[in-house]
Amino acid sequence: MAERLDQPRESRRSFLPRPQADQDAAGRVSESIARFLGTPSFIFWLTIFCIVWLGWNAFGPEDLRFDKAANGFTALTLMLSLQASYAAPLILLAQNRQTDRDRVQAEQDRQRAERNLADTEFLAREMASVRIALNEVATRDFVRSELRNLLEELLAEQAEQADADEPAEPGAERPDGKPARAERKPERRRV
């Protein structure tokens, strides 16, 4: 079978099995250790440990000392270096996980802000359409003034109708000051 050039080669080093670790579990462990390394209680207990180590190896029984002061407490230096060499990567792992969480949180915040902006813009458009619609709606005062005008017109027409129905004497005036029309009597026609 011919090798495909558009795909990478498979790794042929399979003589050592790779350990499979749960990334999330390892991250949680590293974070818990890094959290403890950053606390005052860790500093306190490390100081107590170093004082006991130095006191035992400087003032303890000669035959029970395991780290000689003449050698500059080499074992203590080695222990502290080992602790520091493991602490630094653990702290970096914890920082990387925190950075990932911050990135996810920032993305969620950005999406929430976009939704809020879209909702705000929608509400602003709706408020504008309500304002436009309210400008076209008759207000209570407008309706009252129109009804008042119609009532005045009806009363005026009714008054005119009442004046027209009353028999008027020649030369009499109507209440509005205009001369009254004389009522015409129907004429009889002679046949």
| pLDDT tens per residue, range 119-150 | 999 999 999 898 888 777 777 888 899 999 99
Tell me the C-alpha distance between 55 and 76, whole Å: 12
C-alpha triplet 8, 13, 17: angle, nearest 5°? 120
H helices of 4-73, in order, are 23-37, 40-59
Q: Long-range contact list for 42-47, CB < 8 A, 24+ apart?
A: 46/83
pLDDT at 109 over 60: yes
Q: pLDDT by residue (tens digit) across 65-88?
A: 888 888 889 999 999 999 999 988
- Average pLDDT of the chain is 83
d(CA 26, CA 90): 10
Pair 27, 97: CB distance under 8 Å = yes
Work out the percent of the chain whose per-residue pLDDT is above 90: 38
* Nearest C-alpha neighbor of 31 from the set 102, 105, 97: 97
Residues in the chain: 191
- The DSSP call for residue 70 is T
Percent with pLDDT over 70 in the chain: 83
d(CA 25, CA 180): 110
**Neighbour-count burial for 46-71, b at 16+ CB within 10 Å, e otherwise:** eeeeeeebeeebeeeeeeeeebeeee
Residue 191: pLDDT over 50: no
